[in-house]
Amino acid sequence: MIALLIIIVAALLGITIWQISKIFKLSQPVESDDSQIATNEDNQKQGKLFLVFIVFLYGLMIYSFWELSKFYAPGASAHSEDYDQLFFISLGLIMFVQIIVQFLLHWFAYKYRGQKGRKALFYADNDKLEFIWTIIPVITLAALIIYGLFSWSSIMNVEETDDTLVVEIYAYQFDWRARYSGEDGTLGEANVRFIEGVNQLGLNESDPYAKDDIITTELHLPVDRPVLFKFRSQDVLHSAYFPFFRSQMNVVPGMTTQFGFTPTTTSKEIRNSEYMIDKVRNINEIRKNNDNLGEDEKSYEFEYYLLCNKICGVSHYNMQMKIVVETEEEYQEWIKEQQTFGELTAQN
């Protein structure tokens, strides 16, 4: 109802402005020039406005880079350096072309503005110029695509070795679960058809490999150890997004997708970094002055989180799982404390 009222008010406001403009036009003196043909004065004014706008555009761009670059999150995986390098190379090329093209566009709009008696030059074509502005983008884009393919291949093709930790990430509206293999080192069979009672992930209870699987609500990862993730979805399309690890993968119902990375920065290390200390301080300053938060909510401490990056329903915004990156010793100590699937089913 509120949305409908807003639309009605906006429509009435638009009609009012339109009527006022008609009244203003009718109130102009008879001798006023209402011709639709631009005069030299009009062209001069528009040409100068183009120059003013390009100065404003560049000023806004410089300010945005200066002010917002502090929000660029540091990478915390082995491939994040290559990922960021590809991003900045692409951004640098785009900005270089954008600065030149936008400047020429606005400068020529001023320099070649319409003037009485000036005639435009007819210039049919120039094969040399057309070759140059065709071949340069082709070579540049080909180089970027080839570089991107090599980077993509090195990120996606995770070699599964004896040292690789294999973790299943299970998505459902609106939460995540992590499943680790037990002492046998093999994840048990699972299918949504087996979901019943406490068996939320649909593990096959008759599969001996599933008995020692460990299901958790937090994702713990040992630092500097390759991790291969296998993704399943119970219901709709989700997207597993690890922003600090520069990784994302769609989680598709009815199929298993996968990717992997090697975490390089523990949760404790990133909390003590200069970037994160400053960020947490600013967040806590904002929260301290928010009267809508309880006292226990005003103190913020950074944690890695797995997020959903696909709009999957009404609570999509809150679909997240805490990630803890720790030393190998801390990880082994934590995993030993977790309950296995066999122990869970035995209790029920």
Predicted confidence at residue 204, as pLDDT, reads: 87
How many Cα atoms are found within 13 Å in the side-chain-facing hemisphere of 17? 6
Q: Name the pTM for this structure.
A: 0.77
Q: Could you tell me the CA-to-CA distances from 243 to 60, 76, 206, 248, 249 in Å, in that order?
A: 27, 9, 37, 8, 11
Q: Is the dihedral of CA 14, 15, 18, 23 positive or negative?
A: negative
CB atoms within 10 A of CB 46: 14
Pick the closest to residue 245 from 87, 77, 85, 72 (CA basis): 77
155-159, 175-179, 182-186, 237-241: least confident range:
155-159
Predicted confidence at residue 35, as pLDDT, reads: 61
Give the distance, in angstroms, between the CA of residue 62 and the centroid of all CA atoms in the same chain: 22
Instruction: Report which DSSP code applies to 11.
Output: H
Beta bridge partners of 63: none
Structure tokens at 297: 């909510």
Is residue 7 predicted with pLDDT exceeding 80? Answer: yes
Pick the closest to residue 50 from 108, 120, 114 (CA basis): 108
- Whole-angstrom distance, CA of residue 225 vs CA of residue 220: 12
Average pLDDT over residues 280-301: 80
Average pLDDT over residues 301-314: 92
Per residue, the 3-state secondary structure of 182-251, as one string, reads CCCCCCCCECHHHCECCECCCECCCCHHHCCCEEECCEEEECCCCEEEEEEECCCCEEEEEHHHCEEEEE
Q: In terms of C-beta density within 10 A (0-12 exposed, 13-18 middle, 19 or more buried), how is residue 307 classed?
A: middle
Structure tokens at 113: 């503005």
How many Cα atoms are found within 13 Å in the side-chain-facing hemisphere of 294? 2
CB atoms within 10 A of CB 275: 13
Predicted confidence at residue 34, as pLDDT, reads: 58
**Are 213 and 179 within 8 A, CB to CB?**
yes
pLDDT tens figures, 239-254: 999 999 999 999 999 8
Structure tokens at 26: 């009718």
